[in-house]
Structure 1
Amino acid sequence: MSEFDHGLVLGKFYPPHAGHHHLVRTAAARCRRLTVLVCASAVESIPLADRVAWMREEHPEVGIEVVGAVDDIPVDVTDPAVWDAHMAIFRAAVPDLVDAVFTSEPYGEELGRRFGATPVTVDVARTTYPVSGTAVRRDPVGCWPYLAAPVRAGLTRRVVVVGAESTGTTTMAEALAEHYRARGGAWAATRWVPEYGRAYSEEKYAELLAVRPEATFDEVTWTSPDFGVIAEHQLADENAAARAGSPVLFCDTDPLATTIWHERYMGTPNPQVESIAARARHHLWLLTDDAGVPFEDDGLRDGEHLRTWMTTRFHEELTRRALPHVLLTGPHEDRLRTAVSAVDALLTPGWQFAAPLPERGRPDVP
């Protein structure tokens, strides 16, 4: 039998980290059911919906409910009127009777009293997981081991390598991943995501060869739905890699590039692929120029005559959409140096989290 009927854990979870998850699991083990209340302010740079989704994914157990609320009231644990304002938000979000409040904060006693519940403190000194929300916002890379998979996926800087056929996108994505893995630490897990469209092309060509062994790749028939499948699978592969990787991820193409490939094969835009591209979150595009790169026909390429057109289309679309991009030219070594410089420029400023609302009356803000 559980010690408590209904427990409560609340916080900003800005962003969630291992200490938060330890608190939730400790509370869940002592309660028949547990509510986790995510409180976010409009000034913060991680949306409430993302934080709620991350916590739900990390705590899918039966008996744990994660809910969210907007709380734009600055914290002052010494002011009863401020407490009253916060409690109105908390009770609106969690109207059911609460008989235990679990915190890792010095204000836990007062929070429990105001809920008419037993206050339970868990690892206030942060000895089990020496991490805090402030520390994560200050140095996400240094705190990377304390971030769960969905949070990593949400924070990872995603760099896309795009280009026409046989312009070295795969070579560049692999080289960049290897370069950043060599930096060690959190970077040692750096990954790159292969182009799913190539695997899909191999499958379609194999199906054709099974019927007509003499067929060539340019006889493969494409339909608009094919490109939706490719884009969706590409994004899923990317998200899976981001969950297990380092603070940077390299992608050999993306759904936006798939919109150009659809145009190349079908001659028109594809609203389905556009909608998939709109869901993606990328931070930098590296465009591999076709100039000076010999075309290598590996049996799955048929567009040598279209390479310059595709390079131009990629550049036009990236420019039209005001997306940060860099053109890679020259031999591979020069391209890699240019790419590393651009990626470093992306990573050096850090994540630039917006400061939370002012908090008074607390010696330490986790």
Structure 2
Amino acid sequence: MVKANLVKENLTGDNIGVFFGTLAPMHIGHQAEIYKAAALNDGVVVITSGYTGDRGDQIGLPVEKRFRYLREAFNDEENIKVDYINEDDIPQMPNGWQEWTDRLTATIKRNITNPNAKITLYTGEADYKEMLEKLLPSDGHWGVSLMDRTILKVSATAVRNDPLGNWDYINRVFRRHFAKKILVVGAPQSGKSTLTRRLARTSNSPFSVEYSRSYQEKSNVFDSELLIKDYMRIIQGQYDANSAEINSPANNGLTFFDTDAMVTMAETKSWLQQDDAKKLKALFDNTIREEELDLILVIPAEVAVQNGMDEEASKTFEKHLWQVMEEYGFEDKAVALDRKGDSDDPAGYYARYLQALEIIEDKVGVNLTKV
């Protein structure tokens, strides 16, 4: 049975490899180097290093977050242990080599059991090799090996500059950070579920379904009968459903969601007593804050009305939805799908589909008509 990271014991053996770097993000080139070190040693310590404002932090991947992603990525590797170095309190390179090397050696030692083990550090930079050989302890236990990075020609810089163009090179755990998240919303019977499904399949991307629909069908309750406990389950259930698609191996850089916590919050404004709705505020705050959506496609209420929904109820829901999006700072991410159809498309379904494709290209930078 493979031990989880949280209970993973320190590495044993006489030969320990060390792979270090910014790892923002980790890509398949890093993985190949780490696995080479693992094959040549009894175990490997993988160390991500960085400081506030570094190149990872600038794209929302601070060193602590990279550490957590790496620990998850190697959770099933018993002989690979992950740690990190926060450089905030030491001089930045090239002025902090001695302080950084001292911290590096201390980090390695706290992850191994044999104080006399031979430690081999692996790097792809000749300058790093030269500096480390000068600064590492001279007790005969330390060495530096220069790796050949021409085998897998990919760089973290290229990934950061064009994540979707380099998607196949990004480690799967790190992919969630770069995935573009597109939400489709609208009043009941507006066709949002159909549009979500068709947009996702156009790009062969994963998509979530509306959790509340299956929940209500299973519980056999109407909107007006939902209680606080029901909404709590719906909020968490939809968040989990959306997260599952982000983390899915099928994620190709685009993910589509049919409904989210903002939609559920708008529904509570229509169906739940105000005092009860206030009790859900903290849960809404926490959930919506985690969503980090890139685009929200809004189907106008008039479409639901055309499909038989009550006009007042549909427009009230839409008003509440825009209020919620504005409250949480997502109004600038939201675009109304207001294009009308022609005589061949009187309901406007195809017109809104084409409009959505154009908006995705404009706002997200992905042309689905060429996928």
Q: TM-score range by the shorter chain?
A: 0.7 to 0.9
Distance in 2 between residues matched to 1:293 and 1:272, nearest whole Å: 28
User: For residue 170 of structure 2, what is the aligned residue in structure 1?
Assistant: 147
CA 1:250–1:219 in structure 2 vs 1: closer, same or farther (change >3 Å)? Answer: closer
User: For residue 300 of structure 2, what is the aligned residue in structure 1?
Assistant: 289
Task: Give 1:87's match in structure 2, choosing from 91, 101, 115.
Answer: 101
1:31-46 superposed matches below 5 A: 31-43=41-53, 44=55, 45=58, 46=61
1:56-71 superposed matches below 5 A: 56-60=71-75, 61-71=77-87
Deviations 1:269-305 (A, max 9, x none): 41324322222221221111111444657xxxx8765
1:3-152 superposed matches below 5 A: 4-43=14-53, 44=55, 45=58, 46-60=61-75, 61-71=77-87, 74-76=92-94, 81-91=95-105, 93-96=107-110, 99-106=119-126, 107-108=128-129, 110-111=131-132, 114-116=135-137, 117-122=142-147, 124-127=148-151, 129-152=152-175
CA 1:32–1:199 in structure 2 vs 1: closer, same or farther (change >3 Å)? Answer: same
- TM-score calculated relative to the size of structure 1: 0.78
Distance in 2 between residues matched to 1:133 and 1:190, nearest whole Å: 24
Q: Does 1:342 align with 2:359?
A: yes
Distance in 2 between residues matched to 1:57 and 1:115, nearest whole Å: 29
User: For residue 231 of structure 1, what is the aligned residue in structure 2?
Assistant: 235
Shift of 1:11: 0.3
Shift of 1:13: 0.4
Shift of 1:342: 2.6
- TM-score calculated relative to the size of structure 2: 0.77
What percentage of residue pairs aligned between the two structures are identical?
21
Q: Which deviates the most, 283-292 or 335-344?
A: 335-344
User: For residue 206 of structure 2, what is the aligned residue in structure 1?
Assistant: 191
SS of residue in 2 equivalent to 1:125: coil
User: For residue 345 of structure 2, what is the aligned residue in structure 1?
Assistant: none
CA 1:219–1:115 in structure 2 vs 1: closer, same or farther (change >3 Å)? Answer: closer
CA 1:224–1:30 in structure 2 vs 1: closer, same or farther (change >3 Å)? Answer: farther
Distance in 2 between residues matched to 1:253 and 1:218, nearest whole Å: 18
Contact 1:228/1:273 (<8 A) preserved: no
SS of residue in 2 equivalent to 1:193: coil
Deviations 1:19-39 (A, max 9, x none): 112222232334444322111
Shift of 1:100: 1.8
Residue identity matched to 1:125: R
Residue identity matched to 1:133: A
User: For residue 171 of structure 1, what is the aligned residue in structure 2?
Assistant: 194
Shift of 1:192: 1.8
Q: Which runs of 5 or more structure 1 residues have no equivalent in the other structure?
A: 182-188, 206-216, 350-366
Residue identity matched to 1:118: G
Q: Aligned-pair RMSD on alpha carbons?
A: 2.9
